[in-house]
């Protein structure tokens, strides 16, 4: 099969590799669409020891099952492979399983390839009316769906009309904004500092997108979701969250700084770390996409997998206005 192979920092080669081989309980999926994630970028730059070269990256995928009784069925892939047996998994938090694996992270090869092997339990069937482009967005949006759900569970339920500020107009931030709106929060504002990205995001009718200069000291929010995760965004989060409010932190930008712990203590602000999604969140996100509850999802740019190396370079150099680039392998006959 053809694959985009990560060979070392800033080096991706489109080349022939041995076909993916499904193990017991797994399906072989012919990949049709696969998004580039911030974590793929992190690996591409050589900053992720869990993703040593040579490795096939990519975990935001959709495609067709190849072979077996479900041959040809269209699916979205949940890339998180958990044991499903430990107490953490049985409590419904498979995303925290100690034995957790993810495709594109050693030892599982990822989906920047014509074929990927994945446990049958990790597949969600896609109805005919839903495009595989939208299906490939299930994974990045599920991260925001999960964070939004955790926020709802923590927020004081006497707040009848909560307001939410989302930090960052990448796919994580956009997915979180659309998710929290679909979950019933009407007043959603997304902060994006890059004017080119901001112009692009104007096409998403569901969300109000602002720049930093539009954030004023007299407007505060019940909920802040940080989809970036740097000291600078955490500082904004703690400054603009209302007393008794909730901050959900999704981004993995840097590890320290930004939080005003004194203010958070005196104002009883809840801080939630959130990572990926549970199986239930993933499935609920897929259903929200099927039911058109997350808008048109027209904020992607599509390119060929064979030109994937250039796409990574463009993202690294800040040349992309779309929050998500989706790569497409040539579909096998
Ligand atoms: Zn991702
Ligand atoms: Zn487990």
Distance 217 CA to ligand 1 centre (A): 33
Distance 183 CA to ligand 2 centre (A): 28
Residue 287 is assigned to a structural domain of this protein: no
Distance 159 CA to ligand 1 centre (A): 32
Q: How many domains does the chain have?
A: 2
Looking at the structure, tell me whether residues 148 and 246 fall in a common domain.
Answer: yes
Distance 149 CA to ligand 2 centre (A): 21
pLDDT, position 220: 97
Looking at the structure, tell me whether residues 25 and 128 fall in a common domain.
Answer: yes
Q: Which CATH number do you get for residue 109?
A: 3.90.180.10
pLDDT, position 331: 61
Ion ligand 1: residues, CB < 5 A: 37
Q: Whose atoms come closest to the Cα of 278: which ligand?
A: 2
Distance 82 CA to ligand 2 centre (A): 5
d(C-alpha 171, C-alpha 164), whole Å: 17
d(C-alpha 146, C-alpha 179), whole Å: 9
The tokens for 219 are: 């407007």
Distance 233 CA to ligand 1 centre (A): 20
Q: Which long-range contacts (CB under 8 A, 24 or more apart) does 198-201 make?
A: 198/169, 199/321, 200/299, 200/321, 200/322, 200/323, 201/169, 201/174, 201/299, 201/323
Distance 250 CA to ligand 2 centre (A): 21
The tokens for 46 are: 């050589």
Looking at the structure, tell me whether residues 213 and 172 fall in a common domain.
Answer: yes
pLDDT, position 158: 86
Looking at the structure, tell me whether residues 186 and 63 fall in a common domain.
Answer: no
Predicted TM-score (pTM) of the model is 0.96
pLDDT, position 253: 84
Q: Whose atoms come closest to the Cα of 84: which ligand?
A: 2
The tokens for 17 are: 């590799």
Tens of pLDDT, residue by residue, the chain (333 residues):
999 999 999 999 999 999 999 999 999 999 999 999 999 999 999 988 888 899 999 999 999 999 999 999 999 999 999 999 999 999 999 999 999 999 999 899 999 999 999 999 999 999 999 999 999 999 999 999 999 999 999 998 888 899 999 999 999 999 999 999 999 999 999 999 999 999 999 999 989 999 999 998 889 999 999 999 999 999 999 999 999 999 999 978 889 999 999 999 999 999 999 999 999 999 999 999 999 999 999 999 999 999 999 999 999 998 899 999 999 998 654
Q: Which residues contact 279 (CB under 8 A, 6 or more apart)?
A: 78, 80, 94, 121
pLDDT, position 98: 97
pLDDT, position 260: 95
Q: Whose atoms come closest to the Cα of 252: which ligand?
A: 1
Q: Measured in whole angstroms, how far is the alpha carbon of residue 296 from the centre of its chain? A: 17
Looking at the structure, tell me whether residues 70 and 159 fall in a common domain.
Answer: no
Distance 279 CA to ligand 2 centre (A): 12
Looking at the structure, tell me whether residues 154 and 52 fall in a common domain.
Answer: no
Let me know the angle formed at the C-alpha of 175 by 36 and 283, rounded to the nearest 5 degrees.
90
Looking at the structure, tell me whether residues 156 and 127 fall in a common domain.
Answer: no
Ion ligand 2: residues, CB < 5 A: 82-83, 86, 89, 97
Q: Whose atoms come closest to the Cα of 136: which ligand?
A: 1
Distance 140 CA to ligand 1 centre (A): 5
**Does residue 212 have a cis peptide bond before it, meaning omega lies within 30 degrees of 0?**
no
Residue 106 is assigned to a structural domain of this protein: yes
Range of the domain at 190: 141-273
Looking at the structure, tell me whether residues 9 and 130 fall in a common domain.
Answer: yes
d(C-alpha 264, C-alpha 247), whole Å: 10
Looking at the structure, tell me whether residues 73 and 191 fall in a common domain.
Answer: no
């Amino acid at each position: 099969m053809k694959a985009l192979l990560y060979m070392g920092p800033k080096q991706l080669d489109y080349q022939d590799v041995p076909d993916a081989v499904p193990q017991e309980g797994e399906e072989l999926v012919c990949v049709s669409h696969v998004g580039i994630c911030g974590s793929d970028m992190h690996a591409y730059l050589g900053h992720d020891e869990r993703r040593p070269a040579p490795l096939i990256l990519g975990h935001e995928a959709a495609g067709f099952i190849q072979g077996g009784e479900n041959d040809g069925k269209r699916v979205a892939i949940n890339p998180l492979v958990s044991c499903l047996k430990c107490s953490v998994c049985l409590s419904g938090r498979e995303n925290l399983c100690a034995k957790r694996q993810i495709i594109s992270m050693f030892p599982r090869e990822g989906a920047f390839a014509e074929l990927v092997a994945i446990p049958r339990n990790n597949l969600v069937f896609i109805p005919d009316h839903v495009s595989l482009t939208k299906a490939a967005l299930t994974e990045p949006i599920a991260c925001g769906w999960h964070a939004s759900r955790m926020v709802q569970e923590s927020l004081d339920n006497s707040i009848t009309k909560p307001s939410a500020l989302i930090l960052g107009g990448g796919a994580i931030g956009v997915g979180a904004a659309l998710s929290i709106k679909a979950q019933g929060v009407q007043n959603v504002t997304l902060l994006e500092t890059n004017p080119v990205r901001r112009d692009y995001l104007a096409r998403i009718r569901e969300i109000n997108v602002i720049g930093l200069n539009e954030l004023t000291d007299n407007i505060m929010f019940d909920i802040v979701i940080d989809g970036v995760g740097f000291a600078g965004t955490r500082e904004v989060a703690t400054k603009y969250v209302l007393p008794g409010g909730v901050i959900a932190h999704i981004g993995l930008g840097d590890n320290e700084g930004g939080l005003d712990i004194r203010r958070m203590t005196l104002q009883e602000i809840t801080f939630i770390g959130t990572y990926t999604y549970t199986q239930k969140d993933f499935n609920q996100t897929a259903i929200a996409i099927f039911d058109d509850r997350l808008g048109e999802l027209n904020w992607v740019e599509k390119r060929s997998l064979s030109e994937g190396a250039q796409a990574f370079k463009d993202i690294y150099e800040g040349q992309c206005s779309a929050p998500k680039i989706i790569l497409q392998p040539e579909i096998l006959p």
